[in-house]
Structure 1
Amino acid sequence: MTAQWENIVFDRSVTPPVPMRLYDGTRASKIAPIVLYLRGRAFLDRDRGEAERPIAKALAETGAVVLEADYAIASQNMFPQAMDCAFQALVCLSSRRKQFGSAKSPLFVAGDEAGGNVAAGVALKARDLLPGELKGQMLFSPMIDPKMTSASFREADKVGMREKWSDGWSQYIGSFFQHPYAAPCLCSRLNNLAPALIVTSEDDPLRDEVIGYSDRLKASGVTVRQRIFSADCGWTSVYKEGTGKWLPSLCSEFTGFVETLH
């Protein structure tokens, strides 16, 4: 499976089109789940690169149709432009499911790190503007709290990410610090959101904010499937787009999550 970037045409009114690349693995059924995937890189992308994302590729190999949207380059990684790009990609996928799966294919949004933040914001916006269209959200160590004050965040220096995350937040959020789509963890209304699969690890610097957001979703009545990997699984390699012992388990979590929503 080789995924290449292209301007996938959905709707001629979308100008400019959001570049995407399709990861289309072996489909287990005609009603394959469709996943809009948003990558990380701490809101500091300068080049989207050609290397396939391990998470996107792995999800496709479970039978999903994964489309990675390039929300970063056109938006310069700034809110609200980045959110608008990602949400427009979701709108297009929602209206053209049969182009990639079937009219009954469930639609998901997924993202890791900075992309997890955007995915969480997209889920909020979908609740408000596309009720019932999004089947689930998958947040893999979402970079979700611009305050960066949690106890676990003190470990950020150990993975070389404190300065990057600080610079990334400054780049992305600007004067929109309190906007719920920009910083979902600060949102006061989390009810009626799509079910969530939320993943972190014991040694993840973002662990506390991730678990905190997960707990708030649960308290708001949102169905949450949570997985905390052990420290020896190598989960923090996700920040460098690497792999580890966590990858097969992540695929199992995804498959189980999808099955519970049928």
Structure 2
Amino acid sequence: MNDQLMLSPEVLAALEFIQAIPVPDEEDAVLAGRKFYEGFIPMAGEPEALFHIEDRDVPSATGDIRIRIYRPSDGPSLPAVLYFHGGWFNAGSLETHDRPVRALAKESNAVFIAVDYRLAPEFPFPHGLNDCRHVLKWVNEHAGELKIDGARIAVAGDSAGGALAAAAASHALKTAGVRIRCQALIYPVTDASLSSPSWEEFADGPNLTLEGARLAWDLYTPSPADRNHPDASPVMAEEFTRVPPTLIITAQYDPLRDEAVLYAQKLQAAGVDIKLTEYTGMIHGFFQMGGMISSGKQAIAEVAGFLRLHL
């Protein structure tokens, strides 16, 4: 890790918390990584109480897809936001992101629908993305049953979930009857090349490392040719003009920072309504650490405000 980083006491405490998470007693490295990631959950603080939370299964040709529906109130025809969690495409779950999603639902007054998409390496690209697309289509078709406004749907995601959100929104733009009003991407993965300056600057962390990133892409895209596909690397898309209004949040000390900025620049050049916010002094994952890092709560408030504005 770069010794010159100006890390706040909050960030240092968060990194110490992560270092103290017990290493899972698991021979399989992927399973161990998933269990380790669950150790991050308390960093989000206490869970917000909501009007109603429900787990459901969405049927698909490849098996049921578990979703969790967060309803902030009993108001009729609320807008809906599909949320795709981070975890390098091979980790993360409804549980790892439950607390920040609760907070987002409460502050935005929108129904959040978190998707438990299939993970690599058991289900490499594009299986997880196909789950996200399928649930988006299902939500649109079942808006009445879900008591949401089908004309006010957004997508959001953090890290790998940001890539999935962007790809799902892009696909929806080409699908009759599915309209995405906006997208909120929190330090999104956008480029499998791992060649941006910030990957060189923060190759050894904090929190993410270049070695871990290479392994994650190997697991998610065993065929290197897939890494140039815009469904895997959103920055590789050839056309951005129809992308909806977009919020992109980055962290100053995040190796994903520059690829997210590049994606924002491509959207801006295409005339997309884009807001790009860099959180000074922050590390990758801070959005999930609102119980320890005040900027995490600030990021949740910014995402919620953006959603209220566009929904």
TM-score (norm 1): 0.86
Report the equivalent of 2:38: none
Change (3 A) 1:75 1:169: closer
Change (3 A) 1:106 1:75: farther
Change (3 A) 1:57 1:77: farther
Report the equivalent of 1:198: 248
State whether residues 203 and 255 of structure 2, in contact with CA within 8 Å, keep that contact through their aligned partners in structure 1.
Answer: yes
1:34 match: secondary structure:
strand
**Per chain length, whose mean CA-contact separation is higher, i.e. which structure has more relative contact order (CA < 8 Å, sep 6+)?**
2
State whether residues 80 and 111 of structure 2, in contact with CA within 8 Å, keep that contact through their aligned partners in structure 1.
Answer: yes
Amino acid at match of 1:227: T
Report the equivalent of 1:8: 57
State whether residues 23 and 57 of structure 1, in contact with CA within 8 Å, keep that contact through their aligned partners in structure 2.
Answer: yes
Change (3 A) 1:75 1:171: closer
Amino acid at match of 2:300: C
Q: Give the counterpart of 1:142 among 185, 188, 209.
A: 188
Q: Give the counterpart of 1:223 among 266, 269, 273.
A: 273
C-alpha distance after superposition, 1:160-190 (max 9, x if no partner): 4222221111111233122111111111111
State whether residues 153 and 181 of structure 2, in contact with CA within 8 Å, keep that contact through their aligned partners in structure 1.
Answer: yes
Amino acid at match of 2:168: V
Unaligned runs of 5+ in 1: none
State whether residues 202 and 230 of structure 1, in contact with CA within 8 Å, keep that contact through their aligned partners in structure 2.
Answer: yes
| 1:131 Cα deviation after fit | 6.2
Amino acid at match of 2:212: K
Asked if 1:237 corresponds to 2:282, the answer is no
Change (3 A) 1:7 1:74: farther
C-alpha distance after superposition, 1:2-31 (max 9, x if no partner): 88774434xx5655121111222246x534
Asked if 1:247 corresponds to 2:296, the answer is yes
State whether residues 167 and 234 of structure 2, in contact with CA within 8 Å, keep that contact through their aligned partners in structure 1.
Answer: yes
State whether residues 23 and 66 of structure 1, in contact with CA within 8 Å, keep that contact through their aligned partners in structure 2.
Answer: yes
State whether residues 7 and 17 of structure 1, in contact with CA within 8 Å, keep that contact through their aligned partners in structure 2.
Answer: no
C-alpha distance after superposition, 1:61-103 (max 9, x if no partner): 1112111111134983511111111100100111122333433
State whether residues 24 and 65 of structure 1, in contact with CA within 8 Å, keep that contact through their aligned partners in structure 2.
Answer: yes
2:253 match: secondary structure:
coil
Change (3 A) 1:74 1:85: farther
Report which of the two has the higher share of strand.
2
Report the equivalent of 2:122: 76
Report the equivalent of 1:91: 137
| 1:112 Cα deviation after fit | 0.5
Asked if 1:103 corresponds to 2:152, the answer is no
Report the equivalent of 2:204: 157
TM-score (norm 2): 0.73
2:78 match: secondary structure:
coil
Question: Between the two proteins, what is the percent identity of the paired residues?
Answer: 27
Q: Give the counterpart of 2:237 among 174, 187, 199.
A: 187
Q: How many residues align?
A: 255
1:78 match: secondary structure:
coil
Amino acid at match of 1:167: L
Change (3 A) 1:79 1:253: same
The RMSD of aligned alpha carbons is: 2.6
CA distance in 2, matches of 1:50, 1:198: 24
C-alpha distance after superposition, 1:118-173 (max 9, x if no partner): 11111111112246511111111111111111111131412242222211111112
Asked if 1:260 corresponds to 2:309, the answer is yes
CA distance in 2, matches of 1:101, 1:142: 30
Change (3 A) 1:180 1:160: same
State whether residues 38 and 69 of structure 1, in contact with CA within 8 Å, keep that contact through their aligned partners in structure 2.
Answer: yes
**Which deviates more, 16-25 or 66-75?**
66-75
Amino acid at match of 1:159: P
Amino acid at match of 2:254: D
CA distance in 2, matches of 1:135, 1:254: 14
Asked if 1:59 corresponds to 2:104, the answer is yes
Q: Give the counterpart of 1:19 among 66, 70, 94.
A: 66
State whether residues 94 and 116 of structure 2, in contact with CA within 8 Å, keep that contact through their aligned partners in structure 1.
Answer: no
